[in-house]
Structure 1
């Protein structure tokens, strides 16, 4: 089987010798439109490839203790594995809230200033 360029050339060669006013060919790999008449325009279709997005692995950062949530990094922030994603107040001490995985923070599940229970989801990170 010939490559698409060779096939397109052959198709245009046949179109030139035919009595057709227009020719529109759509395949999975390309789209070709040719017209002898300037009044006949190409249909407004998009040949953008459809690519299925790979599933995104998400990690939920949970409260390691019963504590007050002090701060959180903003959604869109890129964090490294082992990096701080916020701070919690535990008794009289403020400590870092650390993520085991790296990625981008996509959502907050708790608001700063609230009391979070042990194991409560605090934010979501997409790998």
Structure 2
């Protein structure tokens, strides 16, 4: 496992230090796709047949704020639609490499929609959920 993490870090370093926009590596049963914000479409998402999930939205109380992922990661947990929360409450958990990271609510309000299933691969800047701000 340590070898895989070291290899993934080396790939990230190579991408960052080069002018490459994306990197897609397939070796045996392992597949990795890394891209800059303006990189190409992730072929792993198509292969996994991951799609946005439309769930019933709770009544909005104010403008909506999208909570976006700041990493290429896997969605581990997200609070359900209709959950009321305060700014700073953990609304989702993602896994980056082997580390879990809590995603805080940027505003107080109510979760109105989810954009991904648990286990889904999230690309950088992809919405995880939306929050209708408290009035």
Q: TM-score, normalised to structure 1's length?
A: 0.55
Q: Which runs of 5+ in 1 are unaligned?
A: 1-53
Max radius of gyration: which structure?
Answer: 1
* Residues matched between the structures, number: 74
- 1:90 is the counterpart of 2:96: yes
Q: Deviations over 1:80-124 (max 9, x none)?
A: 111100110011111111121111001001111011011101101
Task: Check 1:88–1:55 CA distance in 2 against 1; reply closer, same or farther (3 A cut).
Answer: closer
> How many angstroms apart in 1 are the aligned matches of 2:62 and 2:115?
18
Q: Which runs of 5+ in 2 are unaligned?
A: 1-59
Offset of residue 55 of structure 1: 7.4
**Structure with the larger helix share:** 2
The alignment's C-alpha RMSD in Å is: 1.5
Q: Which runs of 4+ in 1 moved over 4 A?
A: none
